[in-house]
Amino acid sequence: MFSANIFTLYPDVFPGVLGQGIYERASKNNIWKLNVKNIRDYASDKHSTVDDKPFGGGSGMVMKADVIDKCLDKNLNNFKTYYLSPRGKVFDQDLANQISNFDGINLLCGHFEGIDQRVLDHRKIEEISIGDFILSGGESAAIIILDAVLRLIPGVLGNENSAKDESFSENLLEYPQYTQPRVWNNLEVPSVLLSGNHAEIKDWRLNQSQSITRNLRPDLWSRYIKRKKKKNKYE
């Protein structure tokens, strides 16, 4: 069972969308579990203070090292711990695949102006980001990361091929999808998808994915070409 452990000041945010649909079913089937710890519970004063003004001046408040460390000390396990931060390594599909093979993960959610650097240094916590933009806290980022990871765990998706066919699985964006009705607003479904010829459908989808990736994400296209050349070299 995959264990997702969240350390946050806002435990009511969870499980959010992770408590719905495929993730709810997977949780009930003991494929994964969610543990949420409220950092505020580990504050030592009567006001449950979790933050203070930054040394050196500046705006905002910084989460206190002693409170965070106490929370981690009481609840941390052997799973890898990530701190959600805009300055961290950018989370991508490759990292999602890697984490999905772990037995679990710890996600530390910052807030305000972030957390005291000494906690990260003392515990050697790796920072991770979901992109080059600022959020009010790490909670929404944690949900996004878990959404990307959990769907890769065997048994979570109804069709095990679904995750393999979607965007980024091979550094390609996903091909266009169509469903009923066959004609809508005078627009028809591509005839190849109605042909029943699985080989031609597979080729059409690959060509579509390649074309879309090349035009919309040249960075991904470059990675796809490099990976393809490397793969061909060893075949």
Q: How confident is the model at residue 129 (pLDDT cuts 50, 70, 90)?
A: very high
Q: What is the pLDDT of residues 194-211, one digit of tens each?
A: 999 999 999 999 999 999
For residue 34, the SS3 value is: strand
* pLDDT per residue as tens digits for the range 174-191: 899 999 999 999 999 999
194's tokens: 């109605």
Helix segments in the chain, DSSP class H: 21-28, 65-75, 93-100, 117-123, 139-150, 162-165, 198-216, 218-233
Structural domains of the chain sorted by starting position, each given as residue range(s) with its CATH number in brackets:
2-150 (3.40.1280.10), 166-233 (1.10.1270.20)
Encoding tokens for residue 51?
A: 């933050």
Those residues with Cβ within 8 angstroms of residue 192's Cβ, 6 or more apart along the chain or in another chain? 200, 201, 204
Task: Indicate if the alpha-carbon torsion angle 211, 213, 217, 222 is positive or negative.
Answer: negative
Q: What is the CA radius of gyration of the chain?
A: 22
Q: Mean pLDDT over all residues of the chain? A: 91
Q: Cα(48)–Cα(94) distance, rounded to whole angstroms?
A: 39
* pLDDT score recorded for residue 126: 96
Region 53-64: mean pLDDT is: 90
Place 235 in a pLDDT band, splitting at 50, 70 and 90.
low
Whole-number pLDDT of residue 165? 53
Where on the phi/psi map is residue 96: left (φ > 0), alpha (ψ -120 to 50), or beta? alpha
DSSP string, 58-111: -SS-EE-HHHHHHHHHHH--SSEEEEEEEEEEEP-HHHHHHHHTSSEEEEEEPB
Q: What are phi and psi of 103, to 5 degrees?
A: -85, -15
Give mean pLDDT, residues 15-40: 97
Confidence of residue 230 (pLDDT cuts 50, 70, 90): confident
Structure tokens at 215: 């035009």
Pairwise pLDDT comparison (76 vs 146), residue with the higher score:
146
Extract the tokens encoding 34. 């969610």
Q: What is the mean pLDDT of residues 28-39?
A: 97
